[in-house]
Structure 1
């Protein structure tokens, strides 16, 4: 039995779709099963509730062999470490005695850099991994940089103004990965019963790009001028607070960006394997995902 959390999310839904193509039995944990497509409810066992709840996760992990773990965002948490570890702790306690053999988590790059302990949300994700690893289960933490797909949040602004914005500097290059590649690696691991031990798997995408590089590529893919606008950090933090985010999580976002600017995502050297595991280039993603999304926005 493979258990998948966040089955309606951007990553979880893609993991679920690929795992359902196999002959393995699948169980999903979802707050509201009506949000699942009918074909998923027909093919997968459903446990309704939050996977941060001990009773729910105990039912979900009964007789399970593998678990896909993604901690959902908590915009009102006191801080990032509390958000990640508090949500994960009930599952970790159950993993110790439940017999689950393998866990795959969605985590962050940066463990082997000087910024790992002051990277906000990244620090929280790494603390979550430590909690899971401490159970002794076979474990693969997918260590991720920024997602290309985050740009879809600004598709209306791209269409109306030819603009996307953020707090990152425009000229510093970072790795970026497509969500579909993350899901493909996660599904492959969940379906492979042979691996053991504990390991971090960095998924870097095929290239490092600055936001100005991305604007140039998006210009060509969309057939119209696109530019990137950096938002000053105080204004960015105010934007987060005005959206309803807690002080602690807003600061965690600021800390993550600051650590990234200082090299949080630069602690792993890209190898040919990274291009094999995460082959989608930003240009390809813009052409087949961003362009139709902006056109229909």
Structure 2
């Protein structure tokens, strides 16, 4: 029997597809790599451990050459001008090497991210931008989890009334892979991805505590006061300044709305925050 359906054609093309995953050891990158492998793609990890460095353009070509697509996640602690310049330059090099299909992870509602998005759009690539809400996994991985685990309290510069549709990073990864493997369906599009409901940071911490089986509290502080905490934790002053400016922009409540991006791309509802905390508590994230 001859297979000639569009679905079979996509499936065959995926089997032969090699995707470069930048930030492959990071919060999103390793999940994108896992989801891509599960979908049948060949993953080429791009990190300093594999010889790739965003700050060294001479390392890019060897990573990109021979690939079919790439997932781009630029380091979030770098200023907007540097990020835009690097992403634009890498995207142009990728196109020159025949790697036209590029998916960029960006921040939802962050004006500082727009120059980077625009640099990708102007590169000549077949681009898609995935604009993500605040990660649910920020509560279980990285610096915030240490406060919860050790102190039983999260101190953060999000006001008591600020609500966020926290998105599970696994959903981001699934959307990225769908964008990469759906032919040209999502080329030239921005995909806004969020969780299914709005929560304040205090409500989120309360759910974490309930799942972890221990009392956890949330305390909101002014952004400038939080800068001093960052410096006290050993964050370099320049990076702390960058984060403070970023938080001032993102934590003003303007992202307090859910989107249909996950459902429209994946055909299902996004994972709820409660599903995330149950899973993370089960592996001892806050023990």
**TM-score normalised to structure 2 length:** 0.82
Match of 1:133 among 79, 99, 121: 121
Residue 212 in structure 1 maps to residue 202 in structure 2: yes
Instruction: Tell me, yes or no, if the aligned pair for 1:205 and 1:280 is still in contact at 8 Å.
Output: yes
- SS of the aligned residue for 1:10 comes to coil
Instruction: Tell me, yes or no, if the aligned pair for 2:131 and 2:192 is still in contact at 8 Å.
Output: yes
Match of 2:241 among 251, 254, 260: 251
Match of 2:273 in 1: 282
Match of 1:43 in 2: none
> In angstroms, what is the RMSD of aligned CA positions?
2.5
- SS of the aligned residue for 2:162 comes to coil
**Displacement after TM superposition at 1:295 (Å):** 5.0
Instruction: Tell me, yes or no, if the aligned pair for 1:162 and 1:227 is still in contact at 8 Å.
Output: yes
5+ unaligned residues in a row in structure 1: which ranges? 34-47, 117-122
The whole-number CA distance in structure 1 between the counterparts of 2:39 and 2:146 is: 37
The whole-number CA distance in structure 1 between the counterparts of 2:171 and 2:216 is: 25
5+ unaligned residues in a row in structure 2: which ranges? 1-17
How is 1:3-42 mapped onto 2 (pairs within 5 angstroms)? 3-33=20-50
Instruction: Tell me, yes or no, if the aligned pair for 2:179 and 2:186 is still in contact at 8 Å.
Output: no
CA distance 1:93–1:294, shift in 2 (3 Å): closer
Q: How many residues align?
A: 265
Match of 2:213 among 218, 223, 226: 223
Instruction: Tell me, yes or no, if the aligned pair for 2:31 and 2:170 is still in contact at 8 Å.
Output: yes
Instruction: Tell me, yes or no, if the aligned pair for 1:158 and 1:294 is still in contact at 8 Å.
Output: no
The whole-number CA distance in structure 2 between the counterparts of 1:228 and 1:204 is: 22
The whole-number CA distance in structure 1 between the counterparts of 2:98 and 2:132 is: 28
How is 1:181-220 mapped onto 2 (pairs within 5 angstroms)? 181-195=171-185, 197-220=187-210
**Displacement after TM superposition at 1:276 (Å):** 5.3
Residue 50 in structure 1 maps to residue 53 in structure 2: yes
Structure possessing the higher relative contact order (Cα contacts under 8 Å, 6 or more residues apart)? 1
